Amino acid sequence: MPSKRIRHDFANPALLAQALRHRSAGQPHNERLEFLGDAVVNLLAAEALYAAWPKADEGALTRARTELVRESALAGIARSLELGACLELGPGEMKSGGHRRDSILADAVEAVIGAIYLDAGLEAARKVAMPWFTPLIAALPPPNKVGKDAKTRLQEWLQARGKPLPVYRLLAESGEEHARQFEVSCTLTDPPLHTGGAGTSRRAAEQVAAAAILLLLEDTSK
């Protein structure tokens, strides 16, 4: 049951049903709940970052919040909750794999949070949603690095030390058109390191590979 995955017992189950109904499936769909949930998510993310980073300035906090509430991050939460299998979609969206699309999954997460807010208030929404965001906050780079993606941070690390830039290579491309999967490698010559990454676009896969290299560099520098 979706409510067990979400960890909230709805007093009004119709709200959850609406939150999981895409507009392609008819009325009442989840767009209004998504609108409300977007505001709640932004508030909760801001609140959590304010507490977690007491010395960060407004700019760093704003950039970090943007990272937390971006479409891909919310879609990742939806996948961890297996919300895709719970969505009510119209025939066209079902056929095109809408239950796997980042935009639909992200909207569903916001709609669910909006539904919880209407059902039981802000504290209930905070209690349910914050465990979803806590690992994402922990994975954020330091405040002065937020806003720079992994490829940029890797390039800056290498340039600051006068080392050659990384080489990215596409290793494989698979999947249907609406659900492509890319695999890439990232190779350094100095220090000699090699990682791989996968994602729904070549750029996303390169970011994963670059992030893996950065973790290796951090380990070797300890």
Q: Quick one: residue 162, left, alpha or beta (phi over 0 = left, psi -120 to 50 = alpha)? A: left
Helix orientation angle between 58-69 and 31-52, rounded to the nearest 10 degrees: 140
Which phi and psi (to 5°) does residue 93 adopt?
Answer: -70, -35
Distances in Å between the Cα of 213 and the Cα atoms of 164, 193, 196, 210, 221 are 14, 7, 9, 5, 12
Considering the candidates 34, 38, 93, 107, report the single residue annotated as catalytic.
Answer: 38
What secondary structure letter does DSSP report for 162?
T
Residues in contact with 35: Cβ distance below 8 Å, sequence separation at least 6, in sequence order: 114
Per-residue HEC secondary structure of 3-61 comes to: HHHHCCCCCCHHHHHHHCECHHHCCCCCHHHHHHHHHHHHHHHHHHHHHHCCCCCHHHH
The reply to whether 110 belongs to the active site is: yes
Q: If we measure between CA atoms, which residue out of 140, 204, 196, 127 comes closest to residue 166?
A: 196
Q: Is 219 labeled as catalytic in the residue annotation?
A: no
Query: Distances in Å between the alpha carbon of 106 and those of 35, 38, 70, 74, 113?
Result: 12, 10, 8, 5, 11
Catalytic residue among 88, 93, 107, 110: 110
Q: List residues with catalytic annotation.
A: 38, 110
